[in-house]
Amino acid sequence: MGDPQGTPLQQRPPPPRTRPLRTACVAVVVLLALTEATGAQPPDGKQVYGRHCEVCHGLIGDGNGEAAARLRTKPADFTAGRYKFRSTMSGAPPTDEDLLRTVTRGVRGTAMVPQAHIGAGELRVVVAYLKTLSPRFAEPARPPVSVPPAPAVTPELVARGARVYRASGCPECHGDGGKGDGPSARKGMKDSRDLPIVPTDLTRRPLKRGSDTQETWKSIALGLDGTPMPSYTDALEPGEIWALVFFLESLVTPDQRQPEERLLPGEEVLGDQIEREHQGRH
Ligand code: HEC
Ligand code: HEC
């Protein structure tokens, strides 16, 4: 505190004239009154979207922004109302908290870099705006599924997970060793938009949802809507899903585990670069 060399805030000379400030205040008040009178919206979710999201997700939110062509994993189409990252049952829209989490933390390994820099208030209004892009959000909100507490990790639990992994058909897409090279993967897969999609290499972290095992539990239990990754809530017990999660963790070698807080090379760095180019134009 109090750098002796610098000028303390309260001793700094006052601004030369106060008039411009007062004029500006009057202008703002008049502007606000005008926007109210004409029915135009004050700074809102649509504007935040235009500034930070449109370059990838597109003017109408269909995922066809000007940068989309440069990206391997294409931006989400919000008009379909079909979301991968939910804590709700397959087919249901995500909760506000789900959307807030995805937007704040990003989708790892893709150009969807964390948007935490835009501030809590703007995050909230942009999430509200996303919900206006699909009629699916008019349905009564579905309660989130609660993740049961994780069991103690033992060699038996991991061995059980390995059995469940084989018995549940995971190797068909993700391969015997979890590297994403199962028979279906080799044939080539498409998502609901007919875009090519590859089963995740489960031996790396972070996954798209991050490295938190609770989030991996949700991916397996609830599936990723719009992709071939099914929901397993009907087929498996919650404990079997935990066994799977820790079997998958056992496949990750230390060199395949990247820290959460750094940008990953490839799509994440490209996403960051696109944002910088875009901000430069504003
Ligand atoms: C540089 C490009 C880029 C920018 C900018 C960007 N996104 Fe994304 N976004 C993506 C990509 C690519 C995906 C697809 C990730 C996937 O499907 O694996 C995505 C996915 C998402 C999802 C996940 C949807 C789901 O299926 O659950 C949400 C929510 C989202 N973006 C919201 C936003 C919001 C809000 C903004 C602006 C504040 C924004 N994005 C800015 C590229 C971008
Ligand atoms: C029909 C093919 C298919 C089957 C069967 C399948 N998956 Fe997937 N899975 C996928 C695809 C495709 C993705 C990638 C989705 C994406 O990147 O958007 C995926 C993604 C995942 C993810 C990553 C989520 C993230 O955050 O990145 C996990 C974990 C996962 N699967 C686990 C499993 C487990 C465990 C099983 C068996 C119980 C299984 N999958 C069965 C196709 C499949």
pLDDT in tens, 63-100: 999 999 999 999 999 999 999 999 999 999 999 999 99
Is ligand 2 within 6 A of the CB of residue 203? no
CA of 227 to the centre of ligand 2 (A): 9
CA of 97 to the centre of ligand 1 (A): 15
Is ligand 2 within 6 A of the CB of residue 168? yes
Atom of ligand 1 minimally distant from the CA of 118: 38
User: Which domains does the chain show, CATH number per domain?
Assistant: 45-144+262-280 (1.10.760), 155-251 (1.10.760.10)
d(CA 156, CA 170): 20
pTM of the model: 0.88
d(CA 249, CA 158): 9
CA of 199 to the centre of ligand 2 (A): 6
- The residue whose CA has the least distance to atom 11 of ligand 1 is 75
Asked if residues 245 and 236 have their Cβ atoms less than 8 Å apart, the reply is no
Which ligand neighbours the alpha carbon of 219 most closely? Answer: 2
Is ligand 2 within 6 A of the CB of residue 196? no
Asked if residues 241 and 217 have their Cβ atoms less than 8 Å apart, the reply is yes
Q: What is the pLDDT of residues 7-65, one digit of tens each?
A: 343 333 333 333 444 444 444 444 444 444 445 544 599 999 999 999 999 999 999 99
**Which alpha helices (H) appear in 72-119, and where do they start and end?**
96-105
